[in-house]
């Protein structure tokens, strides 16, 4: 059965170009002209992938992504204006899989979308399941997809949790960015190093807000590994 793509953009010309390009690639498409319609369509009949513009009326693409990520893990490819770098980074931090900058080639959008679909169809090996893992003040429930700091749950996206679970699977090992990408998306998936850096930065911020200042250690030019996760020392 052909994969289904939800194309979300307030510009009907862009939607028409993408519908034609995806159709030539043998993929089914449907359209939404704003964020609210996109969210309703994706909730009613989840597509295999969403091509999602960031700047739209009624509800922007970042809010659509935020709400979808709270409920599931539909792959999302963002469309972004050239001057919206902050929004692109935020979109990745919210759990977007990739982005393409406007003006774009419809063939590039289709090629990147096909790469995401191949990854999701392949079901690549994930990090070893970490069940009942505890390290310093950090605890991870691999089966329940939950992470805690000192007993307090830290809300994470699926991507953030998978990165943390990957690092926790071998706490002393340094994982390169490419190795982390392989755990997330499968071998050969092309995303930039800064995408992983954004997810790691977001993980650090969330745990720092909860009181953990050393969740992830950076080894310059090599990659990341789990930090000491030291429990805070109680003052007398």
- Domain at 90, CATH number: 3.40.50.2300
| Structure confidence at residue 153 (pLDDT) | 92
Each residue's pLDDT tens digit, 8-42: 999 999 999 999 999 999 999 999 999 999 999 99
pLDDT tens for residues 179-220?
887 777 654 444 556 778 888 999 999 999 999 999 999 988
CATH number for the domain spanning 216: value is 1.10.10.10
Q: Which ranges of 73-218 does DSSP label H, i.e. alpha helix?
A: 85-93, 106-122, 158-169, 177-185, 193-210
Indicate whether 80 and 155 sit together in one domain.
no
Return the SS3 of 74: coil
10 and 113 fall within a common domain: yes
**118 and 149 inside one domain:** no
Structural domain including 98 reads 4-122
The answer to whether residue 234 sits within a structural domain is no
| pLDDT value for 68 | 87
Overall number of domains in the chain:
2
**Judgement on whether residues 185 and 205 belong to the same structural domain of the protein:** yes
Per residue in 49-90, pLDDT tens? Answer: 999 999 888 899 889 988 888 777 788 999 987 666 666 677
Residues 218 and 165 in one domain: yes
Any domain includes 214: yes
């Amino acid at each position: 059965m052909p994969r289904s793509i939800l194309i979300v953009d307030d510009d009907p010309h862009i939607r028409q170009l993408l519908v034609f390009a995806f159709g030539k690639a043998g993929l089914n498409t449907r359209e939404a002209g704003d964020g609210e319609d996109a969210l309703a369509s994706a909730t009613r009949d989840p597509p295999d992938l969403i091509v999602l513009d960031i700047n739209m009326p009624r509800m922007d693409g970042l809010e659509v992504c935020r709400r979808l990520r709270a409920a599931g893990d539909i792959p999302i490819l963002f469309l972004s204006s050239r001057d919206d770098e902050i929004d692109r980074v935020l979109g990745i931090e919210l759990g977007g899989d990739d982005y393409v900058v406007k003006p774009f080639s419809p063939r590039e959008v289709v090629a990147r979308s096909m790469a995401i679909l191949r990854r999701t169809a392949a079901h690549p090996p994930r990090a070893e399941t970490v069940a009942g893992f505890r390290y310093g003040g950090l605890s991870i429930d691999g089966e329940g997809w939950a992470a805690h700091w000192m007993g307090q749950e830290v809300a994470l996206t699926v991507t953030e949790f998978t990165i943390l679970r990957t690092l926790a699977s071998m706490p002393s090992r340094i994982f390169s960015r490419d190795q982390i990408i392989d755990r997330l998306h499968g071998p050969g998936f092309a995303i930039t190093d800064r995408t992983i850096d954004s997810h790691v930065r977001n993980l650090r911020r969330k745990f720092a807000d909860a009181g953990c200042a050393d969740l992830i250690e950076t080894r310059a030019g090599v990659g990341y590994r789990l930090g000491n996760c030291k429990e805070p020392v109680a003052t007398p």
